[in-house]
Amino acid sequence: MVGITAAEIQTVLQHKGTEGAGVDRQIKVADLGDYRLGVGVLYRGPTKPGAPVAAISHSKVTEAFYIISGSGTLVTGTAVENDRAFPPETEFVRLAVGPSSGGVFKGGDRRPIAAGDVVIVPAGMPHGFEDITDHLTYLSIRPDLAGVLPANYVHPALRK
């Protein structure tokens, strides 16, 4: 069994080290034999009204978001301009989400999200955020059937 306490989530969220891809910090990755399951915590500050919405897509890893605090609008869709693959050696790709690409949304579907909501974003689905007036903090539970996440990873702030 692998557990993650509320205190561990806060420790990783507040950690200022280099591992964890800036606002996206993988907490732990459990090796469950046939697949892996990652859990990360993310913090996003305010978005600029009218700014283009950045889109990101993970080709192998699905994400289930549990919104801890704050609110905003989740944008999803398939029309993305200037889509480009992220370098595979980046910490974000290696530790948190596996092979991914990003660009800018051209249109997209919008859904308001707030504390307590759960959203599932399938692998391959571009997603991003807008209308964050203060902040958005959320857990991302990441089923990894392809085994692209590092087995038994533990964030450096939690290693003893």
Q: What CATH number has the domain bearing residue 74?
A: 2.60.120.10
Q: What is the pLDDT of residue 92?
A: 86
Domain-embedded: residue 38 = yes
Query: Domain range for residue 77?
Result: 6-146
Phi-psi region of 98 (alpha: psi -120 to 50; beta: other; left: phi over 0): left
In a domain, 61, yes or no: yes
pTM over cut 0.85? yes
Is the pLDDT reported for residue 22 higher than 90?
no
Task: Name the DSSP letter for residue 72.
Answer: E
Supply angle C-alpha 4, 57, 1, rounded to 5. 20
Q: How buried is residue 15: exposed, middle or buried, by Cβ count under 10 Å (0-12/13-18/19+)? A: middle
Q: Is the pLDDT of residue 20 over 70?
A: no
Can you give the pLDDT at residue 66? 98
Give residue-wise pLDDT tens across range 77-108: 989 999 999 999 988 899 999 999 999 999 89
Residue 151 lies inside a defined structural domain of this protein: no
Is 17:91 a contact under the CB 8 Å cutoff? no
| Number of domain units in the chain | 1
Q: Is residue 156 part of a domain?
A: no
The alpha carbon of 98 is separated from its chain's Cα centroid by a whole number of angstroms, namely 11
Classify residue 157: in a domain, yes or no: no
